[in-house]
Amino acid sequence: MREMKRFGLLVLLLSLVLLVAACSEEENKTEISFFADFPTTVSEQVESIVVEGIEGSTAEDFSIQFYPMYHEKIYAELAGKYGDIYIIRQGAIEGILDPVSFVPLDDVVPPDSLSDEFTEPDPDTGEERTYVVPIENESRLLRELGVTLDTPLAAFIPGFSDSQEESVELLKYLTETK
């Protein structure tokens, strides 16, 4: 009986170690969530473009998800604190933009070069900041995919992201125009 308890305890401990290892491995990935009507056939191309954008990275460093454009899904992902970069239809940003919850993206696109739909005053300083960046048809991402969209995209980084610096660098790369 005593051996059975030890065996059970050993199995439990081993299971916990494996669970923790699996969870920590997933946390190291930069998660990119697309909420747009992209064909699923572009997922490998997107992965390749993303890997090119961060020097020394591999496909295993990223998790790329494609979802249909539903506000409810975006809100659920944000509430669950999933994802590092959200790419959505530009028209949908109006009800989502939140300077308290988003990472400033002034390094990607300066606020004075954007329309008001992408900028908000910083809650602490009152200074105008960029919180959302447009992804137009001329951007590296869409050019290299060979995709022309009727509705442009926009990207933001939520404040809970564990990969903020890498995400900012990646957005710089993806939004570059010729």
Mean pLDDT of the chain: 85
pTM for this entry? 0.82
- For 11-35, what is the mean pLDDT? 62
pLDDT value of residue 2: 64
Model confidence pLDDT, tens digit, residues 65-108:
999 989 999 999 999 999 999 999 998 988 888 899 999 999 99
Q: For residue 82, which amino acid is it?
A: Y
Task: Give yes or no for a contact between 88 and 139, defined as CB atoms under 8 angstroms apart.
Answer: no
- Decide if pLDDT at 31 tops 70: yes
Strand (E) or helix (H) holding 78: helix 71-79
Query: Among positive and negative, which fits the CA dihedral 127, 132, 138, 139?
Result: positive
- Decide if pLDDT at 25 tops 50: no
pLDDT value of residue 24: 46
